[in-house]
Structure 1
Amino acid sequence: MKALVALILLVQLPIHKAVPAAPPAPLGCDDPESEAAAEVAVSYINGHSHHGYKFALNRIENIRVLPQGLNDDIIFLELELLETTCHVLSPMPLANCTVRSFTQHAVEGDCDVKLQKLDGKLSVLASKCHSHADSSEDVLRLCPDCPLLASLNNAEVLTTVTAALSDHNSKTADAYLRLLEIGRAKIQYYPVHIVSVEFAVAATNCTAEEAKDNVEACQLLPDDQSNFGFCTAKMLTRPSKDLRVDCQLYGHQPGVTYSQTGQDTSAGLVPSVVQGFTNHNLRLSHNNPVASESSSSEFPTCMLSVKSVAKRAVAEVAQHDKVPHPVGFVPPPPPCPGKIRHFKI
């Protein structure tokens, strides 16, 4: 009898089943983990760019994490970047590089980056980028008198670069400089006519004095002695003529190379630039051969576009509005896209 009573009581006890652990909440674009991944991605992009300028993070537009196993995740990032004033050859740390303002005719970069986080360590597996200058209409709407970017192979631009480099070489007692690439140019037409240019240079094995006798013999220094630099120049052509040039050499940087041979503008040669382009496109597509994760399909087609993310965020906020909330309730911000660090372009 006692056994029967005990059995009945046992049956009446609540049965507690093990509840599976909830999956981790998806990362938001402004979460510390997302920002850490973006920092690694931007550093990688700048380190593998061979032309133009360094870019800084403006916004994390989307993030997606695909768990692969214990302490092993694949992370997909969509990033919006902005061009800085530092050339890719400059040793200046990115944190000290100034982002070009909107009125300076900003250049935006858009990048998809695939990373692996293995045992807490982030590494980039692949990246795809492109960049473009803001529309002239947008700049002129805010600043009607601001000069716009000019084509890198514009005749006035090439003339100014040639004159500027020739002027520098004629006045220096140091190494003879050769042109590597024109980075940026603007032309102001009113009230005075000014052509402003920026270009990368490299030192040769000749002094400027030696180059006067046989400039063709002056070659760029070998990689273990290379010395890159950067010049800015402004040429006033109307109402009077004036040329101002400033060139700075960075000094030798071990491991830093340039992918193309420099050309000498003092002899009338110009760099190979694409017809009509106003900026170097941040095209970048790279797979890391030592990564443990295959990169055969770098970016999933199911990644949400920025517009779809924004629409989803609006829908979620609208849904919140339909549900009664206590007075003073503030709905949480959408997880993506993230905050704008500089300005919207």
Structure 2
Amino acid sequence: MKALVALILLVQLPIHKAVPAAPPAPLGCDDPQSEAAAEVAVSYINDHSHHGYKFALNRIENIRTVPQGPNNDIIFLELDLLETKCHILNPTPLANCTIRSLKEHAVEGDCDVKLQKLAGKFSVLASKCHSHADSSEDVHQLCPDCPLLASLNNTEVLATVTAALSDHNSRTAGAYLRLLEIGRATIQYEPAHIVSVEFAVGATDCSAAAAQDNVAACQLLPDDQSNYGFCTATRVIQPSQDLRVDCQLYGHQPGVTYFQPGQGTSAGLVPSVVQGFTNHNLRLSHNNPVASESSSSEFPSSVLSAKSVAKRAVAEVAQHDKVPRPVGFVPPPPPCPGKIRYFDI
């Protein structure tokens, strides 16, 4: 009898069904995990850059995570970067590199980066970047007297680089330096005619004195002895001639190499990839097709552009503001885009 009563009571007990776990909330652009992924992405972009300057993160525009299995996610990032004053050959850590100001024609990089997070570790699978300098109109609105960027193959720019290298090589007792690439150039016409240039150099296997006899025979040092550097020069053309040059060699950096373009630079010519351009475009350096075997390297069309993300965020905040809220209620910030670290172009 007792057994029968126990069985009846057991049957009458409520049956609790297993409730599936809710999917994880989407990452916000300022989430620590998003920032960690962005840090890996920016490091990858700078490490694989062949020309120009290092870039620093300015803003995470969007992030999308696609689960692939246990401890395995594919992450799509949209990043806004800003150009620093450190050339890619400069060993200075990115954190210590100065961001170009708006008055200096700030250069913005827009990047789509695909990463894999496997067992807690991020790795970059693919990246697509391009960059552009702030417009001349914006620069002059902020600073009417600031010089504007000049084309890297402008005749006055080339003449200034040639004169600066010749001046340095004539005054040094060290290795003869050869031009690798011109990084930046500005020309000012009023109140004085001034050309300012920045360019990367490499030490050759000739001394400066020996190069005077046969400069064409001077070759860049091999990779296991390479010594790269950077020069800045200012040439005043009017009202009176003046030239100031400062060159710094970084010393041999194991594993650091310079990507040689198709045309040589021994005659003072800039690489063909920058003919007519005012800045080195990231697009020329970062179309990386590498991807894991389990996933395509293509970026899905569902990854939103920065403008559409911003419009969506504004619309969502506006919609929230129409809902009655308690006194003192502050709506949470939209998950994307993230905070601006420096300034917006």
Report the TM-score when normalising by structure 2: 0.94
In 1: Cα distance, 2:2 partner to 2:305 partner: 68
- Residues 136-163 of structure 1, C-alpha deviations (whole Å, 9 max, x = no match): 1111111111111100011110110000
Aligned-partner Cα distance in 2 for 1:13–1:143: 78
Equivalent position of 2:196 in the other structure:
196
Q: Distance in 2 between matches of 1:334 and 1:152?
A: 41
User: In the alignment, is residue 84 of structure 1 matched against residue 88 of structure 2?
Assistant: no
Q: CA contact under 8 A between 2:274 and 2:280: conserved in structure 1?
A: no
Tell me if structure 2 keeps the 8 A contact 1:152–1:273: no
Alpha carbons of structure 1 residues 294 and 23: separation in structure 2 relative to 1, 3 Å:
closer
Q: Which secondary structure state, in structure 1, belongs to the residue aligned with residue 76 of structure 2?
A: strand
Unaligned runs of 5+ in 1: none
Does the aligned pair in 2 maintain the 1:49–1:282 contact within 8 Å?
Answer: yes
Change in CA separation of 1:312 and 1:250 when aligned onto 2, cut-off 3 Å: same
Rounded to whole Å, the distance in 2 between the matches of 1:163 and 1:205 is: 21
The number of aligned residues is: 341
Question: Alpha carbons of 1:320 and 1:230: their partners in 2 closer, same or farther (altered >3 Å)?
Answer: same
Q: In 2, Cα distance between the equivalents of 1:6 and 1:294?
A: 56
Q: Secondary structure at the match of 2:95?
A: helix
- For 1:125-274, list aligned pairs within 5 A: 125-260=125-260, 263-265=265-267, 269-274=269-274
Aligned counterpart, 2:52 = 52
Q: What TM-score do you get using the length of structure 1 for normalisation?
A: 0.94
Q: Which amino acid aligns with 2:300?
A: P
Mapped pair 1:285 → 2:298: no
Amino acid of the residue matched to residue 240 of structure 2? S
1:281-301 deviations in whole A, cap 9, x for unaligned?
001111336x45333x42001
One-letter amino acid matched to 1:285: N
Computed over aligned residues only, the root mean square deviation of the Cα atoms, in angstroms, reads 1.9
Task: Determine the structure 2 residue equivalent to 1:327.
Answer: 327
Local SS of the residue matching 1:247: strand
* 1:13 positional shift: 5.0
Change (3 A) 1:269 1:333: closer
For the residues of structure 2 that align with 1:178 and 1:35, how far apart are their CA atoms?
Answer: 39
One-letter amino acid matched to 1:111: C
1:110–1:270 CA distance, 2 compared to 1 (3 A): closer
Give distance in 2, aligned partners of 1:169 and 1:6. 101
The C-alpha deviation readout for 1:186-232, integer Å capped at 9, x for no partner, is 01111111110000000000100111111111111111111100000
Q: What amino acid does structure 2 have at the position aligned with 1:313?
A: A
For 1:20, what is the secondary structure of its paired residue? coil
**3-state SS in 2 of match to 1:140:** helix
Q: How do 1:21-36 residues align onto structure 2 when only pairs under 5 Å count?
A: 21-36=21-36
Task: Provide the rounded CA distance (Å) in 2 between the counterparts of 1:42 and 1:271.
Answer: 25
**C-alpha distance in structure 1 between counterparts of 2:257 and 2:189, whole Å:** 37
What is residue 116 of structure 1 aligned with on the other side? 116
C-alpha distance in 2 between matches for 1:137 and 1:306: 23
Deviates more, 1:163-172 or 1:274-283: 274-283
Q: For residue 294 of structure 1, what is the amino acid of its counterpart?
A: S
Match of 2:314 in 1: 314
Read off the aligned partner of 2:67 and give its amino acid letter.
P
**Unpaired stretches in structure 2, ≥5 consecutive residues:** none
Instruction: Give percent identity, aligned residues only.
Output: 82
Give the 3-state SS of the residue equivalent to 1:51 in structure 2.
coil
Match in the other structure for 1:294: 295
Residues 116 and 293, structure 1, Cα contact 8 Å, conserved in 2: no
